[in-house]
Amino acid sequence: MGRNRRLSRRVADAAFGEIRRQLTYKTRRRGTRLIVADRWYPSSKTCSRCGAVKTKLPLSMRVFECDNCGLVLGRDANAGHNLVALAARTTGTAVAGDLDLAKAKSKPRGADRKTRTTRPRRKAGTGRAGGAIPGPRAGKETGDRQQDTGAQLAL
């Protein structure tokens, strides 16, 4: 795809490396596995019914036609069937992210799951050495600049 003038820019913009990095850490966090097909795995060139592999299949051919068994299927649908079969061979199930039911734990998802752990709040007077001495900015405005409350502006 990098050699095709029309596709190369779009493939570079898609940032597949970033997508894979995010999928990797998210599947680890959820306790599942990510199955990655080999870069040269011929998913769209292989017949999903009989397994025959075509040597040449240009990108302009959007329909896969098997010469051996006569299967006619959309190229992307055929590749999808082959990738599901690859995942089934790898995991033993038909879904790529499945775990064994004996190992699977119920995990909270969505709004009830915290994204960060929070630190416990400190009690008043225990945060600094000396106890009750306030910090240098206590009682003043916080922001980019501190205002001098004693000086008045004259026009």
Domain that holds residue 3: 1-31
Residue 107's pLDDT is 47
Provide the pLDDT for residue 49.
94
The full DSSP string for 54-110 is -S---TT--EEE-TTT--EEEHHHHHHHHHHHHHHHHHSSSSTT---TTT------G
Q: Considering the domain boundaries, does residue 107 fall inside one?
A: no
Residue 70 confidence (pLDDT): 93
The closest of 55, 19, 49 to 34, measured between CA atoms, is 19
């596709």: which residue's tokens?
Answer: 7
Both 13 and 46 in one domain: the answer is: no
The per-residue pLDDT for range 120-153, each reduced to its tens digit, is: 666 665 555 555 555 555 555 555 555 555 555 5
Least confident of 16-20, 41-45, 103-107, 120-124: 103-107
Domain termination site, one of 59, 74, 102: 102
62 plus 94 within the same structural domain: yes
Q: What confidence score (pLDDT) does residue 14 get?
A: 76
Domain tally, the chain: 2
Shared domain check, 27 and 6: yes
Please indicate, yes or no, if residue 109 is contained in any of the structural domains.
no
Q: What is the mean pLDDT of the chain?
A: 74
Predicted local distance difference test score (pLDDT) of residue 5: 74
141 in a structural domain: no
Is residue 98 domain-shared with residue 43, that is, in the same domain? yes
Is residue 153 assigned to a domain?
Answer: no
* pLDDT digit string, tens, across residues 78-121: 999 999 999 999 887 655 444 444 444 444 445 445 555 566 66
The residue out of 78, 102, 126 marking a domain boundary is 102
Whether residue 29 is predicted with pLDDT greater than 80 in this model: the reply is yes
Would you state the pLDDT for residue 79?
95
Cα 12 from Cα 21, distance rounded (Å): 16
For residue 99, what pLDDT is reported?
Answer: 46
